Structures are given as C-alpha cells and as structure tokens.
Structure 1
Amino acid sequence: MMSDRSKDLPLWFKNQASPTAEMDQESLEVPSVHSAQQHQIHMDSIFMLLEENIVTFVKNELKKIQKVLSPDYPECKESQREGEDEEQRSNREEFLKITLHFLRKMKQNELGDRLQRRRRVSSCFSLLIS
C-alpha cells in the first residue's frame, strides 16, 4: 500500500495562493452567497406583503371616494371624524391627491372637479379619508 507521501502534489509558486487557500476562500464565499439569497427572499416576502397592504388600502379608499361622489351621498357631522389620528388623515389626504392626479391624467376632469369641490365644501370630508 502506498502512503499519501508518495502522491504527486500539485506545484504552486510563492506569488500564487495554495490550492488549500483557494478552497478556504471558496468556502468563505458560499455563506455570503447563501446569505444574499436569504436576504433577497426576505426582501421579496416583505415587498409581497407591502404590495398586498397597499392594494387593500387603495381599494378601500377608492370605495370611499366612489361613495362620496355618488349623488345621494349624505352630508355628515363633525363628530364622525373622531378616532382618526393625524397620520391617518395625512395618508388619506395624500391618496386623495394621487386620485385627483390620475383622474386628470385619464381626462376625467369633470369627476376630478366634482371630487375636489366636495372635498372643499363638505364639513366631514375627512370621513371619506377615514
């Protein structure tokens, strides 16, 4: 039987990394690739959830806007605004601006004008955005 000592070992020069060093380097890179893949999977799941939340928010807000634009939408009272914090109000106000922008872009100026008028006139327009 032959020992490992009798094997021909690969030649390498001083300015080259040893084959063992290359293997060590490769083994160090694998976790970072794995980590990058895990990070991407994590980011993908976060953005899927984000998309789901945004779509739900948009659908709910568009339903409210549609109600406000209906001819039989009743006037409401100031007391109906309670329970809404400033951040919610601000988010919904910004969504309303986006909606107006898209209505105008779609050449639905009459609908946009009506929405804007009701927004200014209604004492409880925040109900729409609540």
Structure 2
Amino acid sequence: MGWGIALYLLLIADVDRRTLRIPNLLLLPLAVVAVSAAAQTPLAGVAALTAAAPYLLGFLRRACGGGDVKLATCCGALLGSPVAALVAVLLAAVIGLTDCVLAGTERRPHGPALVVATLAVLLLARR
C-alpha cells in the first residue's frame, strides 16, 4: 500500500472523528482499490470478509455504523491476509476501548481506531 492510500485512510479517520460519520462518497475510491485488490488476490477478499464480520455483528447490535462496516471491509482487503485483518480488528478494539476509557464515554467513532490499527499492522508486516 502506498502513502497516498495511507493518507486517504487518515482523512477518512479524521472525518469520522469530527462528524461521527463516514460518508459513502468518501469510501467509494477506497472501495474501488479494495475490490481491485480482491480481484488480483482472492485472499484479499477473504481478508475483507474477516475484517467486516465483527463490524457487521456490531452494526446489527447498534454498536457501530454502516460506514464502519464498509471501512473494515476495505481495510481487510488492503491488508490482503485474513490473519492480518483479524489482528487489525483486535487491535482496533483495544484502541477503541482505551479511547473510551480515557474519554470517559461509551461512544466514540470506530473509524480512527480501525485506521490506526490497519496502518500499524501494515507497518509491522513490512518489518
């Protein structure tokens, strides 16, 4: 993944942080990249489903929004590995819980934690 995609992920995280929403229009270019990755490497499609599954369950329980599910799907595809996607989702959960504790609230946007976790897993995978 290039710097451009990393910066775009950070833009999405910032929008979610400020507005508590991830607009579909903002996710569309990332979805195109994710679909391309899955088309080139089928394992990226499995990774997308791996990352999306916990967020879909959270969405069904009203613990997160639909934008979070779509972002998780894209992040999983970008990671390209189901194991990496699962690690990123678990790390995002830890970051999100820590953020809630530090902020003293139960509701915080999920996008920033997921983006930070995805970028961290990508950086660690390169080592």
TM surpasses 0.5: no
TM-score, normalised with respect to structure 2: 0.32
**Bigger radius of gyration among the two:** 1
